[in-house]
């Protein structure tokens, strides 16, 4: 069917393939011919998933030829749509072709090849075993056009129509839709995969030779997925609403689409669609997508729709009735169609009859579902039996317990809703109308929906108080019974065994971890005690189960068993429950207590109400939280006195049986059911009295004697006269009709009277023969009545026509009269009304003009006053600024004249810290400080908030001492400041600024260390920086003698040698050495971990990297020291990689290393590279 290179001993260099349906064969032929024309060294294979085995040919294969059995194909085809089936077959096809030892290229059926792909594919497969092609090489703009970013996100970034695989890709063939776990190479070639996704960014043009080119190179492939030959004006019918690419704007693309459509027609495409073989049953009924999903989820797998039985088994499965009352097929049709969901919102409730009618009519006629899939009519339910009894509906343990109590009560009992009083245990149990509904529940609340419930039975007074609400059902206390299974035979052993129940569906109310904590606290070292926990619900609640397993894994005395019978051999059962499921927990403990097992439980709720003094009750904190320490003491004392525990168990058994045994609950249940039945009878409507069937006919006969009233008032003066004229004209006809109707009614009256008499006779025992005669007479009467009815219809038609004519004349007469009256009134009043309206409009206009003038005057005055105030304020502000500048210059000159300047060449600046001298060649801090008067205000404010007055402030890279002076002025004589500055000139200016701006006593609290803070003492190379000061770096081994050197100091050693700071704690550390700060902090790490001060670090990722350190690893090490990384700009904790990514394009940022609370210390993050240095050494 397809042309392919077939040469003996031909070894293809590449094999191309595609997966298609029979409807896509024209596109496959275009792909095959275009590929082989450009790749004479290649081979092409097409897999048609719905082709019959006998249709295989050269280049065309079926699923059976790649190892897919027919039965498996039928199951897959039943469970999947066509596109999903093609996707499932692709890995099988690639695996079969790879076994032939050549690279394989998969192309979508809607691809056309224009150039050779062999070189590109082979080079890509040298890099990875799988090569993928992105849909677009540029981000799509969010401009509302399609396709856009939303469509790219939903459909995926890679083009599914181009996949190349080579040797080594076999393990990943089933995961090609998850490229993140597949080693792949991305083909970023604009010549490949031109499609609706990228043609807007890849304009096509013709070369001098006439071939198509993109970005200056020959075009290789075009992907026409979405192109519809019936709509050739669209590049893709999938994006028809607001297409990004309009063929009218892309002439070359339009010509390409025209040529492609012509190729499709040449290869056999027609307007008549080719049916998908696996899309419908043999009779043409389409299989809905939701039914395929149900088939995939079914276990065991039902028979396929295309098997040897012709789909009979599948049809039987699909037409089975569901629990909701419909069929699988009908339910699937409803779920797959939103319009049907809007039309029939309750297909199994109020809309059930209409939904069934649609299925039987439109659904079957349109081929959407077969006749056996039409839902059956709903059953009316059991007939109501008006007598004392109780119906118990529902399933489950609770229903079985109430059924046992009902049977023990001596009342008639039914499991269907036949009796007036119906007791149910679940709101999902449907009850027919007209019943007295009693709902038995555990742990109900007032917020629960109890629509249709007459009474609510709960097990405890506390639950009743929680469930009562205004307008809700009556709430009564009827406990759930427990069966008397007899007391257990238990002998205490060498090991004291406590048991607990872990129902993970009630994880928080059950509080099994509280029992574990109490056990561990009570017996920290004893080996003669065990705790056995009966576990249920672990599969449905894996998180709660894992939490319990982790809490008990380290203690071999605690065992988890998925068997509730483990409690039967325990010396006592522990339940430190919280509020929320009291009734359920009480019922569970009652079933254990009835066997004589001692109970240790929380002293609150239904459990305390049930057991009273017959159980060991643990006191609770406020909010029903049990006291674990009190429970531990009680467990410890109970383990040492098992005789008392056994006595408590026996007492609990007797007490529970006295209040919750089946006979005791049966007595209460009978009393409540009798009361409910009497209430139901009292509210039931009484039967209506019998009425004479002849009464209505006799009343209707008297209506013929009534005469029409022609004198009724009407707004038309001539109406009574017209009525009289009409009656006089129709008098003869009216009398005739009255006679006819009299005769007809007399006959009907006699007939009905005779029928009533004969019916009474039948009730008295008339024979069958007379009954047949009566039937014959009734038929004759019916025929006569039908004849009279035909005559009456004819008469009625005439009357209707006459009345219609008269009504038309009356309407015309009334219209004329109304028109005359209206015209007269209009002429009489028009002049007066017009004059009055003109006067009113004139007055209103004058008032409006006056108000406009007033408002304009006020607005002009307001604007004038505002402008004058604004001008005055501007002048005052300008004058104040000039005065402030003049005062600043005067103060600076006065200070320069009065003070003794240091030997360093400097300039004087007035700022918030005082009169500061900075190096004259400072091109960064000097102009900013002289203009603004402040430096780093956000940092200064935060320093003031975290500074401790009696602590140590370490200023690394202090420069001229701006922050040191501010902190000294705030600390006074309590704290101390240690300034570290390697530049001797800056250190001299620092000392001068401190002595010039602070009192001598305060200035004495400053210690200046001339050197560079580093991880170890020694010497460092120094070089001047553009922002002032010097930058330090490790001294090369071959450094010459003229290289500037500074002393390197380790700060923790230096601080130990300063007597002034002895006995003080580090409060704040500021490090202003971008790229070197982590080295400076490494020499202070011991004191950082001891005192946990706040650290403000000027951090530069680029400088750190240039220095040879990894910035992410540096930041992670700060976390190991116990600090959170908080950028000063955001004040939010950030991760190291987030900070580094955010610094792209920034020189440096200020980081607040905020000490983390000791109790909240998280696990140390895993560094991206191994950290070989000790914790107190450099990173």
pLDDT digits (tens, 9 = 90+) for 697-708: 666 666 666 667
Residue 881 or residue 399, greater confidence: 399
First to last CA, the chain: 70
Instruction: Report pLDDT for 798.
Output: 52
The residue among 1112, 1085, 1086, 1084 whose CA lies nearest residue 1099 is 1112
CA 1140/CA 1115 separation, integer angstroms: 9
Residue-level pLDDT at 266: 92
Mean pLDDT on 180-186: 93
- Residue 477 token pair: 């206390």
pLDDT band at 1160 (very low <50, low <70, confident <90, very high): low
Contacts of 806 (CB under 8 A, 6+ apart): 726
pLDDT of residue 1001: 87
The rounded percent of the chain whose pLDDT value lies above 90 is 36
pLDDT at res. 1093: 94
Lowest mean pLDDT among 187-196, 837-846, 879-888: 879-888
As given in the structure block, the two tokens for residue 85 are 């089936």
Question: What would the mean pLDDT of 754-762 be, rounded to a whole number?
Answer: 73
Task: Taking residues 175-180, report their average pLDDT.
Answer: 88
The per-residue pLDDT for 884 is 67
Q: CA 80 to CA 60: how far, in whole Å?
A: 22
Model pLDDT for residues 765-816, shown as the tens digit of each residue: 544 455 566 666 766 776 776 666 566 555 544 554 554 456 456 556 766 7
**Based on the number of CB atoms within 10 Å of its own CB, is 1080 exposed (0-12), middle (13-18) or buried (19 or more)?**
buried
* Chain mean pLDDT for the chain: 84
Among the listed ranges 17-21, 258-262, 784-788, 1002-1006, which one has the minimum average pLDDT value? Answer: 784-788
More confident residue, 1129 or 831: 1129
Of all residues in the chain, the percent with pLDDT exceeding 70 is: 87
Give the pTM. Answer: 0.51
Confidence tier at 713 by pLDDT (50, 70, 90):
low
Confidence check: pLDDT of 837 > 90: no
Asked if 1125 contacts 1153 with a C-beta cutoff of 8 angstroms, the reply is yes
User: How many residues in the chain?
Assistant: 1179
Over the stretch 117-163, which tens digit does the pLDDT of each residue have? 999 999 999 999 999 999 999 999 998 899 999 999 999 999 999 99
pLDDT band at 614 (very low <50, low <70, confident <90, very high): very high
Helix (H, G, I), strand (E, B) or coil at 315: helix
Q: Looking at residue 792, what is its pLDDT?
A: 58
Number of neighbours of residue 932 by Cβ within 10 angstroms: 11
Encoded tokens for 1166: 């895993």
pLDDT band at residue 658 under the 50/70/90 scheme: very high
* pLDDT value, residue 705: 66
Average pLDDT of 498-524? 92
Task: Check residue 1104 and report its DSSP letter.
Answer: H
Q: Identify the band that residue 408 occupies on the pLDDT scale cut at 50, 70 and 90.
A: very high
Lowest mean pLDDT among 352-361, 428-437, 497-506, 729-738: 729-738
Nearest residue to 1065 (alpha-carbon basis) of 974, 1160, 1128: 974
Name the percent of the chain in helix, strand, coil, to the closest 5.
45, 15, 35
* pLDDT of 711 strictly over 80: no
**Whether pLDDT at 827 is above 80:** no
Span 29-82, pLDDT tens digits? 999 999 999 998 899 999 999 988 776 777 899 999 999 999 999 999 999 999
pLDDT score recorded for residue 800 = 43
- Helix 731-764 vs helix 719-729: crossing angle, to nearest 10: 70
Name the phi and psi angles at 794, rounded to 5: -65, -45
Contact of 1151 with 1096, CB cutoff 8 Å: yes
Write down the pLDDT at residue 850. 84
Cα–Cα distance between 343 and 245 in angstroms, integer? 38
Q: How far is it, in rounded angstroms, from Cα 896 to Cα 893?
A: 5
Ordered strands of the 42-48 beta sheet: 60-61, 42-48, 14-20, 104-107, 158-165, 130-134, 184-186
Residue 987 has pLDDT above 60, yes or no: yes
Name the more confident of 471 and 763: 471
Contact indicator for 979, 1058 with CB cutoff of 8 Å: no
Beta-strand relationship, 1030-1034 and 1018-1024: antiparallel
Cβ burial 1157-1170 (10 Å sphere, 16+ → b, else e): eeeeeeeeeebeee
pLDDT value at residue 3: 38
| Residue-wise pLDDT tens digits, 368-405 | 888 888 888 766 667 788 889 999 998 889 899 999 99
Spatial strand order of the sheet with 1018-1024 comes to 1012-1013, 1045-1049, 1018-1024, 1030-1034
- What does the pLDDT read at residue 898? 57
> Contact, 996 vs 910, CB < 8 A?
no
Rounded to the nearest angstrom, the gap between the alpha carbon of residue 408 and the centroid of all alpha carbons in its chain is: 50
- The answer on pLDDT for 877 being more than 70 is yes
Q: pLDDT value at position 762?
A: 59
């Amino acid at each position: 069917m397809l042309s392919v290179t077939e040469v003996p001993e031909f070894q293809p260099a590449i094999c191309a393939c595609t997966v298609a349906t029979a409807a896509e064969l024209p596109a496959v032929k275009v792909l095959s011919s275009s590929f082989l024309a450009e790749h004479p060294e290649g081979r092409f294979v097409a897999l048609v998933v719905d082709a019959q085995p006998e249709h295989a040919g050269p280049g065309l294969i079926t699923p059976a030829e790649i190892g897919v059995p027919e039965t498996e194909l039928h199951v897959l085809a039943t469970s999947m749509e066509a596109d999903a089936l093609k996707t499932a077959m692709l890995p099988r096809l690639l695996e079969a072709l790879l076994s032939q030892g050549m690279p394989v290229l998969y192309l979508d059926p809607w691809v056309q090849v224009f150039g050779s792909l062999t070189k590109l594919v082979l080079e890509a497969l040298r890099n990875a075993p799988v090569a993928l092609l992105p849909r677009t090489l540029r981000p799509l703009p969010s401009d509302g056009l399609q396709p856009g970013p939303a469509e790219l996100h939903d459909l995926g970034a890679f083009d599914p129509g181009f996949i190349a695989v080579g040797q080594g890709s076999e393990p990943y063939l089933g995961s090609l839709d998850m490229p993140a776990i597949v080693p792949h190479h991305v083909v970023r070639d604009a010549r490949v995969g031109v499609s609706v996704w990228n043609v807007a960014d890849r304009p096509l043009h013709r070369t001098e030779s006439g071939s198509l080119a993109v970005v200056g190179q020959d075009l290789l492939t075009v992907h026409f997925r979405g192109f519809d030959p019936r709509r050739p004006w669209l590049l893709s019918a999938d994006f028809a609403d607001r297409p990004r690419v309009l063929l009218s704007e892309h002439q070359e693309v339009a010509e390409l689409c025209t040529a492609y459509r012509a190729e499709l027609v040449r290869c056999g495409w027609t307007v008549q669609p080719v049916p998908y073989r696996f899309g419908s049953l043999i009779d043409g009924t389409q299989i809905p997508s939701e039914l395929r999903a149900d088939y995939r989820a079914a276990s065991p797998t039902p028979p396929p729709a295309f098997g040897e039985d012709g789909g009979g088994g599948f049809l039987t499965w699909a037409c089975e009735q569901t629990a909701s009352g419909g069929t699988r097929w009908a339910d699937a049709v409803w779920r797959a169609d939103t319009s049907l969901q809007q039309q029939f919102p309750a297909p199994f409730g109020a809309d059930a009859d209409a939904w069934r009618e649609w299925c039987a009519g439109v659904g079957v006629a349109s081929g959407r579902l077969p006749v056996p899939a039409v839902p059956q009519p709903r059953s009316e339910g059991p007939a109501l039996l008006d007598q004392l009894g109780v119906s118990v509906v529902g399933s489950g343990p609770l229903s079985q317990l109430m059924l046992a109590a009902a049977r023990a009560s001596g009342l008639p009992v039914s499991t269907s809703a036949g009796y007036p009083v119906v007791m149910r245990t679940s709101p999902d149990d449907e009850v027919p109308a007209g019943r007295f509904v009693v709902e038995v529940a555990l742990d109900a609340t007032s917020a629960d929906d109890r629509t249709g419930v007459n009474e609510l039975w709960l097990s405890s007074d506390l639950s009743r108080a929680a469930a009562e609400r205004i307008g809700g059902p009556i709430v009564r206390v009827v406990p759930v019974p427990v069966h008397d299974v007899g007391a257990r035979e238990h002998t205490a052993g060498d090991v004291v065994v406590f048991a607990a129940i872990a129902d993970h569906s009630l994880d928080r109310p059950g509080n099994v971890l509280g029992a574990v904590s109490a056990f561990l606290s009570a017996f920290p070292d004893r080996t003669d005690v065990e705790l056995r926990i009966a576990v249920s619900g672990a599969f449905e609640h894996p998180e709660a189960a894992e939490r319990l397993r982790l809490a008990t894994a380290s203690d071999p005395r605690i065992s988890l068993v998925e068997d509730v019978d483990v409690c039967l051999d325990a010396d006592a059962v522990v339940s430190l429950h919280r509020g929320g499921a009291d009734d359920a927990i009480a019922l569970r403990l009652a079933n254990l207590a009835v066997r004589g097992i001692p109970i240790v439980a929380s002293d609150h709720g239904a459990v305390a109400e049930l057991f009273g003094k017959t159980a060991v009750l643990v006191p609770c904190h406020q909010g029903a939280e049990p006291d674990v320490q009190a429970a531990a003491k009680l467990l410890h004392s109970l383990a040492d006195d098992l005789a008392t525990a056994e006595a408590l168990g026996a007492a609990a058994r007797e007490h529970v049986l006295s209040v919750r045994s089946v006979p005791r609950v049966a007595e209460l249940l009978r009393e409540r059911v009798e009361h409910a039945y009497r209430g139901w009878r009292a509210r039931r409507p009484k039967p209506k009295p019998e009425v004479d069937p002849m009464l209505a006919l006799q009343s209707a006969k008297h209506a013929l004697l009534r005469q029409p009233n022609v004198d009724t008032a009407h707004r038309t003066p001539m109406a009574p006269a017209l009525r009289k004229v009409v009656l006089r004209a129709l008098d003869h006809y009216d009398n005739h009709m009255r006679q006819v109707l009299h005769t007809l009614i007399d006959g009907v009256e006699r007939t009905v009277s005779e029928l009533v008499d004969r019916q009474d006779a039948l009730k008295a025992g008339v024979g069958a023969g007379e009954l047949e005669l009566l039937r014959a007479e009734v038929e004759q009467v019916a025929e006569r009545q039908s004849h009279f009815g035909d005559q009456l219809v004819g008469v009625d038609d005439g009357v209707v026509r006459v009345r219609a004519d008269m009504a038309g004349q009356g309407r015309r007469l009334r219209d004329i009269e109304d028109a005359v009256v209206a015209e007269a009134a209009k002429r009489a009043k028009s002049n007066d009304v017009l004059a009055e309206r003109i006067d009113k409009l004139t007055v209103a206009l004058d008032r409006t003009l006056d108000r406009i003038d007033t408002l304009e005057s006020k607005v002009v005055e307001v604007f004038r006053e505002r402008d004058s105030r604004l001008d005055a304020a501007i002048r005052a502000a300008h004058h104040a600024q000039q005065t402030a500048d003049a005062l600043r210059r005067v103060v600076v000159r006065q200070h320069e004249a009065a003070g003794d300047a240091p030997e360093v060449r400097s300039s004087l600046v007035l700022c918030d810290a005082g009169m500061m001298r900075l190096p004259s060649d400072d091109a960064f801090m000097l102009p900013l400080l002289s203009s603004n008067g402040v430096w780093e205000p956000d940092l200064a404010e935060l320093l003031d908030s975290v500074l401790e007055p009696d602590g140590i402030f370490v200023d690394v890279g202090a420069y001229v001492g701006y922050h040191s002076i501010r902190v000294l002025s705030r600390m006074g004589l309590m704290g101390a400041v240690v300034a570290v500055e390697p530049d001797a000139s800056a250190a001299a200016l620092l000392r001068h600024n401190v002595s010039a701006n602070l009192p001598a006593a305060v200035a004495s609290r400053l210690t200046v260390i001339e050197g560079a803070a580093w991880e170890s003492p020694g010497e460092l190379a120094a070089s001047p920086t553009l922002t002032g000061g010097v930058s330090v770096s490790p001294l090369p081994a071959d450094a010459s003698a003229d290289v500037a050197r500074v002393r390197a100091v380790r700060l923790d050693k230096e601080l130990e040698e300063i007597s002034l700071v002895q006995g003080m704690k580090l409060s704040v550390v500021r490090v202003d050495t971008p790229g070197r700060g982590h080295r400076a902090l490494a020499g202070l790490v011991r004191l950082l971990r001891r005192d946990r001060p706040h650290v403000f670090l000027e951090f530069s990722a680029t400088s750190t990297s240039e220095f040879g350190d990894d910035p992410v690893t540096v930041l992670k090490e700060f976390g190991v020291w116990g600090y959170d990384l908080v950028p000063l700009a955001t004040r939010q904790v950030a991760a190291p990689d987030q900070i580094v990514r955010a610094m792209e394009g920034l020189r440096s940022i200020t980081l607040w290393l905020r000490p983390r609370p000791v109790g909240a210390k998280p696990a140390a993050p895993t560094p991206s590279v191994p950290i070989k240095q000790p914790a107190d050494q450099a990173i």
